[in-house]
Structure 1
């Protein structure tokens, strides 16, 4: 039943946004009574937070799966693969992405976002550690991870929400260049 309620919460959040979501609407979508819903979730925010956590888990899993076995590839291939995986994962349900970005941080003071960034950061750190000799020696890895995760996160989310007149392949190529230029040691 919990999975059903979280799935309904995701659907309602994507369709109506945070303000339009209600426990009654979520219960109806889940096909359960409001009383049954309250046995598992005390209020709407608890459901939305569960949706946010699940969203982050799914996205990290998607990116990690796509990156498995890629670390031995040349850096441009690895970066491009990671960016495409992130874009694909975020673009599955744009209305949900909008709700997550606009309403998520105010619900939990950004804890779900920080948890997502931490997990992605661990993946980035693992990759950078394998390539340390090829990177700028003047930047500590923890600094590089923090900069890269937040830069890529912001640009990909804004790209998907704003839908600028930039073809996706062009966006991916430009962001790949940006990441590689940041990591590349001076000539």
Structure 2
């Protein structure tokens, strides 16, 4: 378990290494991600890097934790203040925030999704989904109480929005951003409003 640095200079060095690691991972991909490249990018010796990170695995774990936490912060911040909005406006804002968060560093997203082994991201991605699902569940419970589970509906909506948004960012199909936002808004709004099937 990595120790958190206590001194400001040490914290700055960790940030420098993490920033360099993020650049190397996005630029070179997972297969070429090695600590010597990260140290070179950070302008330090490999020995200095090892004072803060035991190995490549530990650095990658921190990179994935930071990446998914930042993505979650961007989306959750846009949702938390809008829980009183009508469904179509809330969903539109959520989709826009999700796309913005994923597009923020689309090259890194591609490497994270397509190359980095899932073991580095699973726990962090699960925590991100949970944050957003909890907000969605709270929204649905307040707006549509009843027999249909807000938790289940929130999971379905969040999973669908995430999958479709990631695919759009990575594949860049001939679909304008505004068109995608509109379609996802209609999809989720209709799903939320639909009557349960028996």
Q: Which TM-score applies when normalising by structure 1?
A: 0.91
* 2:28 aligned with 1:19: no
Q: 1:165 aligns with which of 150, 174, 178?
A: 174
CA-CA distance at 1:130 after TM superposition: 2.4
Q: Which residue does the alignment assign to 1:178?
A: 187
* 2:77 aligned with 1:65: yes
Q: Distance in 2 between matches of 1:29 and 1:138?
A: 55
* Greater displacement, 151-160 / 45-54: 45-54
- Residues matched between the structures, number: 184
Q: Distance in 2 between matches of 1:174 and 1:7?
A: 35
* Greater displacement, 64-73 / 158-167: 64-73
Q: Which residue does the alignment assign to 1:83?
A: 95
CA distances 1:19-67 after superposition (whole Å, capped 9, x unpaired) = 1211011111112211111121122122122111111111111112222
Identify if the C-alpha distance between structure 1 residues 9 and 42 changes in structure 2 by more than 3 Å, giving closer, same or farther. same
Q: Distance in 2 between matches of 1:79 and 1:25?
A: 41
CA distances 1:94-153 after superposition (whole Å, capped 9, x unpaired) = 1100111123443337222212211222222222222124xxx44212211221111111
- 4+ aligned runs moved over 4 Å, structure 1: none
Q: Structure 2 unaligned runs (5+)?
A: 1-12
Secondary structure, counterpart of 2:30 in structure 1: helix
Q: Which residue does the alignment assign to 1:40?
A: 52
Q: Distance in 2 between matches of 1:126 and 1:104?
A: 33
Q: Which TM-score applies when normalising by structure 2?
A: 0.86
Secondary structure, counterpart of 2:148 in structure 1: coil
Is contact 2:61–2:121 with CA below 8 Å preserved after alignment? no
Q: 2:153 aligns with which of 144, 152, 159?
A: 144
CA-CA distance at 1:161 after TM superposition: 0.2
CA-based RMSD of the aligned residues comes to 1.7
Q: Which residue does the alignment assign to 2:5?
A: none
Is contact 1:104–1:110 with CA below 8 Å preserved after alignment? no
Q: Distance in 2 between matches of 1:105 and 1:146?
A: 24
